[in-house]
Structure 1
Amino acid sequence: MNKNKSFLILGIVMIISAIFFIIYALNNPQASFPWHNSITYIIYMAYIVLAVSFILKGFKK
């Protein structure tokens, strides 16, 4: 398998898993993390940046 195709598949899987996590989290509002929201937002943003960079790298030739 081509290395760029692997990055593309990994990025798509990351986006799909994020969507499922959001759906799960919206249906369970009682759950929370043991730290401040700002740390959670930083983790979310890093995950999105990583997923998008994998997808862009997958399209690169």
Structure 2
Amino acid sequence: MERTGTRGGKPYHQTAYYISSLVRDAVVFAEGIRGHWGIENRLHWVKDVVFDEERSTIHTGQAPANLS
């Protein structure tokens, strides 16, 4: 999968590889991948923006698992 876009005002291009035993066409795989990353992006946005997770100082012991 080829990814292109802009982050922080800078263009980027990435190639991602996925391995699966499913026999499907590229359209079906692309829909599944986009669906997965759509969920991931919404979840991380909430954790980053609402919970301000990136500024958290709790990174040791059981705290990360408890907070997730």
The reply to whether TM is greater than 0.5 is: no
Asked which structure has the greater RCO (Cα within 8 Å, sep 6+), the reply is 1
Q: Which has the higher strand share?
A: 2
Answer with 1 or 2: which has the greater Rg: 2
TM range (shorter): 0.3 to 0.5
Q: Which has the higher helix share?
A: 1
